[in-house]
Amino acid sequence: MKFESSYLQRVYDGLESRNAEQKEFLQAVAEVLESLEPVVAANPELERWGIIERIVEPERIIQFRVSWVDDNGKVQVNRGYRVQFNSAIGPYKGGLRLHPSVNLSVIKFLGFEQIFKNSLTTLPIGGGKGGSDFDPKGKSDMEIMRFCQAFMTELEKHIGADTDVPAGDIGVGGREIGFMYGQYKRLRNEFTGVLTGKGLTYGGSLARTEATGYGLCYYTQEALKSLRNTDFNGKTVAVSGAGNVAIYAIQKAYQLGGKPVTCSDSTGWIYDPEGIDVDLLKEVKEVKRARLTEYAAARPSAEYHEKKNGEHGVWSVKCDIALPCATQNELDENDAKMLIDNGVLAVCEGANMPSTPAAIEALKKAGVLFGPAKAANAGGVATSALEMSQNSERLHWTFEEVDEKLQHIMTGIVHNSLDAAAKYGLDGDLVAGANIAGFEKVADAMIAQGVAY
Ligand SMILES: NC(=O)C1=CN([C@@H]2O[C@H](COP(=O)(O)OP(=O)(O)OC[C@H]3O[C@@H](n4cnc5c(N)ncnc54)[C@H](O)[C@@H]3O)[C@@H](O)[C@H]2O)C=CC1
Ligand SMILES: O=C(O)CCC(=O)C(=O)O
């Protein structure tokens, strides 16, 4: 990775040599630092205060053993993580991921992205992320509960409503948050807003379930309006994933006049030319926790395709708007070329870092509107921060109040990103704008607080 600034080059080279095996983390850092070239050139005090070398190094990494008992009475062992990356603007905040692919590189990339995303929301939340290589697939409810309790038995020592507030991510939804919350309460004897994404009967916020997918569509709508003078109306939408983010992105895309025609899981994908049936998708994924073959079996208009390596999957379908909502690096350069050849207008990221650097370059070069994850999917964590506010005042807001605040935050992110990009002569660049706007607030707070971490 080559930088114009010798300061950025030195910091990145040092980071790379110390973390050579952490590919996802280095990828996330490289993308942010590239955007910061003009900021570093214009602000020499960043180097004097060591801001870049501090911001790429987590304040604290916690790694722990999670031992739990399966349904056969056999002890199983997993590895747990919490990376408390940056607390300059608020308590650490970010989700927990349960997936066999979880390792320190994945959690560090997610925690690093979270710093800038959380800053973009304009709310007082720092950056953190955690999880485990535990695989929830095929586990009974009781196994999930015993794992979550074991995980929280260690995590409890490091978190708190004013210290670090975890939430869901891949493999962690309402069921898992409930089990973890119950265990935290049992250990601490405290009823407090230590997790977000809680159930509505015990302190959760209305609209948190919908927030990431809805927020993604609000962001996309505003970016389309500002940069292309158009909107979702009458557009064909390709969505990947079939989890929390994908489901509610599909639902909101319909409400805004679009037609979502695809979704996917780790084993295959659906093309439904009549439009995805959201109620059926929710039944298959949220209630039955089944594979998409069940969707296809119940829906005559749907085509089911097995996932095959090297094929484009949902990105082979002709669409106007593409919303990757599954996982990191799921949209590569070949997929981007396919989308471009099919005339895509906009790609906005619901998942974290779903597009490879080469894909982003190809899309931007072809003039496709590109909305980066840390801006486009910030609606989830923003609404988590609204859940924290409601917990602090021990009140509940209506769905409409929360949704209105979410819309305001997402449209604000588009405009703050465009303003930050324009300040450095990068008009219309939503990637640079998001990185710069997110960074500037955190850097200011770090300088104001002296050499605290
Ligand atoms: N849940 C939230 O509030 C937020 C989630 N995100 C990101 O959105 C993405 C999806 O998360 P959720 O919908 O919450 O998770 P989820 O667990 O509800 O669903 C995950 C989806 O991704 C698919 N998936 C996971 N790993 C995959 C793989 N290796 N290959 C293909 N498909 C895979 C799953 O089949 C499923 O459809 C993740 O990147 C997550 O970090 C970002 C912001 C907030
Ligand atoms: O709601 C939260 O605190 C976390 C959401 C999250 O993990 C993310 O934004 O990637």
* Stretch 31-49: mean pLDDT: 98
Give the CA distances from residue 295 to residues 134, 222, 278, 285, 306, in Å, rounded to whole numbers and listed in that order. 26, 32, 10, 9, 13
Give the residue from 71, 136, 138, 155 showing the smallest Cα distance to 97: 136
How far is residue 289's CA from residue 144's CA, in Å, rounded to a whole number? 13
Residue ranges of the alpha helices (H) in 372-423?
A: 373-376, 379-393, 399-423
Please name which ligand lies nearest the alpha carbon of 373: 1
Place of tokens 């303003």: 419
Q: Does residue 314 surpass a pLDDT of 90?
A: yes
* Stretch 443-448: mean pLDDT: 98
Q: Separation of 76 CA from ligand 2 center, angstroms?
A: 27
Kindly list the structural domains of the chain, giving each domain's residue range(s) and its CATH number in brackets, ordered by start: 6-55 (no CATH), 60-190 (3.40.50.10860), 211-376 (3.40.50.720)
What are the pLDDT digits (tens) for 332-363?
999 999 999 999 999 999 999 999 999 999 99
Q: Separation of 393 CA from ligand 2 center, angstroms?
A: 22
Helix (H, G, I), strand (E, B) or coil at 172: coil
25 phi-psi bin (left φ>0, alpha ψ -120 to 50, beta other)? alpha
The answer to whether the CB of 169 is under 6 A from ligand 1 is yes
**Average model confidence (pLDDT) for the chain?**
98
pTM: 0.98
Give the residue from 347, 350, 351 showing the smallest Cα distance to 359: 347
Residue ranges of the alpha helices (H) in 229-368?
A: 244-255, 278-282, 292-298, 333-341, 357-365
Q: Separation of 141 CA from ligand 1 center, angstroms?
A: 20
* ipTM of predicted complex: 0.97
How far is residue 239's CA from residue 264's CA, in Å, rounded to a whole number? 8
Q: Which of the residues are catalytic? A: 129
What are the pLDDT digits (tens) for 226-273?
999 999 999 999 999 999 999 999 999 999 999 999 999 999 999 999
Determine what percent of the chain is predicted with pLDDT higher than 70.
100
How far is residue 268's CA from residue 264's CA, in Å, rounded to a whole number? 6
